[in-house]
Structure 1
Amino acid sequence: MIVSGGEALVDLVPAESTPDLLAPRLGGGPYNVALAAARLGVPTGFLSRISTDRFGDALVERLRASNVDLALVQRGEQPTTLAVVALEEDSSARYSFYTEGTADRLVADPGPLPEAVTTLCVGTLGMVLEPGAGVYEAVLRREAERGVLTALDPNIRADMIADAGTYRARFLSWLPHVRLLKVSVDDAEWLAAGAGVDAAVKAWLEAGVTAVVLTRGAEGLSACTAAGEVASVPTVPVEVVDTIGAGDTVQGALLAWLEQRGVRDLTTLGAADWAEALHYAAAAAAVTVSRSGAEPPTADELAPGV
């Protein structure tokens, strides 16, 4: 089973018919990862604390409808985190977050995850906002120790990071416990702080990461290991509505592909394997960006194009 840990929130996005109005869309990076993996047919759970307000009820129901296991979901009376989304001319998304006193920040440490858990993925605001960030960090380190395949997507929201230097140092402290690092080129540049993406990727691999998957927007995806860049694939051509949830879908699809094949050790993958995995992830992301909001595909929707 895959477990994705982190925030669940509501994106307020420009309405399709009236862009001046905002329409609610259920989301959050780790939440979207869980949806993406579960919809592709692999056992998936979600670790978070979700509000008991109406938004929280809707978030939980959507997880249930997508066959996400709810055993690790906690509930709390505090409100749901909100993200106001502005779409740029290239359909990319810019976010403003409302996180003060929200339910997901108060997630409790669940202790060791069930033995059935084979993969753990964390990231985004879950690894930024305290006290929850400390909980997810502790879970990451503990599960890595017992041999779970660990994945991280930092999904940088710079406006939410009060001290960039402290965050970058903390990010580096996670890497010995991370096997798969998925990061956009923009986020890689921010994390590299002027050192250059190639040099940063090399340093992250030397720190203990087994593989780094770089998402390059319209330029596609690439996978880097100790052997260098081992595979690269283009994006799948599609009419883009918006890019909300695209990177989350890539992560969920990659983890689903690995889970479907029983891969626990990424060093066993060759260049052809990585190319197949990246193509699968790119195809899944293409479906998501063709829709408004984060709406990952099901396995049936993806099958004709893979």
Structure 2
Amino acid sequence: MIIVGGEALVDLVPTVAGDGSAALRPALGGGPFNAAIAMARLGADTGFLSRISTDGFGNSLAARLRDEGVDLDLVQRGDELTTLAVTDTSDPGAVRYGFYVNGTADRLVADPGPLPDDVRAVVLGTLSMVLEPGASVYDAVLARESAAGRVTVVDPNIRAAVIDDPAAYRARFVERLAHTTIVKASIDDIAWLADVAEESTLDDVLPVVRSWIEAGAEAVVVTLGADGIAAVTSSGVVRSPGVKAEVVDTIGAGDTVLGALLARLHLEHELTVGGVRAMSSDAWADVLGFAVRAAAVTVSRPGADPPRITDL
């Protein structure tokens, strides 16, 4: 099983009502929530670790996960409100978010203790690695499960609006690398974490990525938008080009990449630390190509709607 830890929230997406007036349409989401659904839809045995509200939105989030076949044994429930994200889709290629997070349920997650024996990998990221006290809980999970020999994956998925102290967060991210097998990050994530120019290329950020590998990560998977994906390891760089798609919006595209990456590793390769370390260029090309195809389906649909295996 793959355990995905982090927030499940509600996106409020701008839309036009039947009378032509502006409205906000609620859509279930959150990076970890979307990634868990992508993994489950692509055939991976997936569980979710979080605290989900017992309000109406929270009940809908839990029901969606259950309906998608995601195991909820590690989900905690509480009467705190659900996190809300107001989505700005004015630029379909660069969706922006504003967050309402004070006292919400997901940031109050409790440490579940050592994970079950059948867990092969733990995936963490997005707001859950920023907002306290939950961020410290997930850090404890990351360190403990890494020490237990499990594959650990971190997707920083930077949301700068909720990071009050960028320098402290950047330092904390580097500390996490000692406990991380795979980092999945966009070019924009890497540029923000390295505090360099936003308009960067893969070549621009390669020295930063390689420093992350020296700090402990076995691989860094870099999403390049329409240009595809790259995997950087101590052995070199493997790239998979993008797949042409008519872009409706990019909501959930990176989460789909993460879900597809882990599902493919789990089902077709060896999802162990040693297995990731020993992956050949051909193996990485297979995994990246699968993730690119999955993301192309997601961006062709409105909202975070990752593909099922039959769609690919």
Which position in structure 2 is the counterpart of 1:269? 279
- Give the CA deviation at 1:77: 0.2
Equivalents in 2 of 1:263, 1:25: separation in Å?
32
Please point out which of 216, 225, 245 is paired with 1:238: 245
Aligned-pair RMSD on alpha carbons? 1.3
Q: Which residue number in structure 2 is paired with residue 54 of structure 1?
A: 56
* Deviation readout 1:220-276 (Å, 9 max, x if unpaired): 1001001221x1112211111110110010001000001103331212211111111
* Residue in 2 that maps onto 1:214: 222
Structure 1 gap segments, 5+ residues each: none
Aligned counterpart, 2:233: 225
Q: Which of 109, 112, 118 is matched with 2:111 structurally?
A: 109
Q: Spell out structure 1 runs of 4+ moving beyond 4 A.
A: 16-19
Q: Which residue of 2 aligns with 1:205?
A: 213
| TM-superposed deviation, 1:16 | 6.7
Summarize the Cα distance change of 1:164–1:248 in structure 2 as closer, same or farther, 3 Å threshold: same
Structure 2 counterpart of 1:27, which letter? G
Letter in 2 for 1:101: G
Please list the CA deviations of residues 122-173 of structure 1 after superposition, one character each: whole Å capped at 9, or x if unmatched.
0000000000000001000000000111101000001110000000000000
Q: Which residue of 1 aligns with 2:263?
A: 256
Measure, in 1, the Cα distance between the counterparts of 2:214 and 2:66: 39
Match of 1:29 among 21, 28, 31: 31
Q: Secondary structure at the match of 2:209?
A: helix
Taking the TM superposition and a 5 Å limit, the aligned residue runs for 1:64-213 are 64-194=66-196, 196-213=204-221
Looking at structure 2, the residues matched to 194 and 91 of structure 1 have their Cα atoms a distance apart, in angstroms, of: 21
Is 1:13 aligned to residue 20 of structure 2? no
Separation in structure 1 between the aligned mates of residue 147 and residue 232 of structure 2, nearest angstrom? 23
Query: 1:21 aligns to what SS in structure 2?
Result: strand
Between the two proteins, the alignment pairs up a number of residues equal to: 301
Q: TM-score, normalised by structure 1?
A: 0.96
| 1:298 match | 308
Question: Which residue type is aligned with residue 148 of structure 2?
Answer: R
- Whole-Å Cα distance in 2 between the matches of residues 263 and 135 of structure 1? 24
Could you list the per-position Cα deviations for residues 153-207 of structure 1 after superposition, in whole angstroms to 9, with x for gaps in the alignment?
0000011100000000000000011011000000100111139511110100000
Deviation for aligned residue 1:19 = 8.4
Indicate the percent of aligned positions where both proteins have the same amino acid.
56
